[in-house]
Amino acid sequence: MADDQIFNLKEALKLENLITLHRDRFELRYSVDQDFDAIRGKIDEGALKSELSEWAFITLSEQHPEEKAVVFLTGCRDGGMPIMTSYVQIIVFERMLVRTKSGSLYRLGDRAVTPLSADRVATIAGVFNTWGMGQMLGMPPVFF
């Protein structure tokens, strides 16, 4: 592989560069405090699906016709296996708990260092592609 191809791949596998189509409408970024305002809440006890280490929250926002945003959780399960969850419905930072749209309950372990590594960003692209959204947004053709 030529050096310029390796550079292009490294650039493509940065979170802020994953979306290459419809960038005027959609943005994928690391979540900021305001992204959590609508999803802070209370979580009743439940069966814990997993504890995630090296976690980070990412936000997919749509700018038109009105601004809408959803927050996703990405992290590593035991053994370092990277995952990305369905969108976050409730977060309780004080207890380090997150409930997702699918009903799964996660405990947050150690936070990730951002920016995320290329393999973690590739996982994010793969999940969006599996959901049928990645190609529409011009994400790299990563599949599981």
User: What was the pLDDT predicted at 132?
Assistant: 94
Q: For residue 66, what pLDDT band results from cuts at 50, 70 and 90?
A: low
* Residue 75 belongs to a domain: yes
- Classify residue 97: in a domain, yes or no: yes
Residue 137 lies in a domain: no
Q: Does a structural domain hold residue 135?
A: no
Total domain count for the chain?
Answer: 1
Tell whether the model's pLDDT for residue 3 goes beyond 60: no
Report CA-CA distances (Å) from 72 to 9, 35, 127: 24, 11, 11
Enter the pTM of the model: 0.89
Q: Is 82 inside a domain boundary? A: yes
Range of the structural domain that residue 39 is part of: 3-130
Tens digits of per-residue pLDDT, 29-64?
999 999 999 999 999 888 999 999 999 999 999 987
